[in-house]
């Protein structure tokens, strides 16, 4: 089973809309990977908090089958946990899971 993990750390709205959103959508729609997961961490949390259009796009991706998860420690630090959960994003501690992804040769990790 091939899995694409997109580690989204940038606070750039342009990158969110013109790359992350489009590529995750394409990868899921055209089945380039069996599973697509977006991991929210760092600056991505701030841009999500401040941009309603990005929030809508996250929910759209979730409803298309893209798994969206967020670092609980980072979300708690910026006060984004409740918002993320309302967008159907799973908020959890991600350090160990990210390490497992990095070590797993059957998973791809794309960092932006």
pLDDT tens, residue by residue, 43-82: 999 999 999 999 999 999 999 999 999 999 999 999 999 9
Residue 71 pairs in a beta bridge with 92
For residue 95, what is the domain's CATH number? Answer: 3.40.1260.10
pLDDT of residue 16: 96
pLDDT at position 1? 76
Domain span at residue 68 reads: 3-111
Split into its structural domains, the chain has a count of: 1
Residue 89: per-residue pLDDT = 98
Query: How does pLDDT run across 26-42, given as a tens digit for each residue?
Result: 999 999 999 999 999 99
What sign results for the dihedral spanned by CA atoms 45, 47, 51, 55? Answer: negative
- State in Å, rounded, how far the first CA of the chain is from the last one: 23
Task: Give the residue carrying structure tokens 């990977």.
Answer: 33
């Amino acid at each position: 089973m091939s899995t694409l993990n997109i580690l989204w750390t940038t606070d750039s709205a342009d990158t969110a809309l013109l790359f992350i959103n489009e590529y995750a959508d394409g990868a899921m729609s055209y089945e380039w990977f069996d599973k697509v997961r977006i991991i929210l961490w760092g600056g991505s949390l701030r841009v999500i908090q401040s941009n309603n259009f990005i929030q809508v796009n996250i929910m759209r991706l979730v409803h298309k089958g893209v798994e969206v998860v967020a670092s609980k420690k980072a979300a708690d630090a910026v006060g984004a946990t409740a918002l993320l959960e309302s967008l159907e994003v799973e908020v959890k501690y991600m350090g160990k899971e990210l390490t497992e992804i990095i070590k797993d040769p059957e998973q791809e990790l794309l960092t932006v």
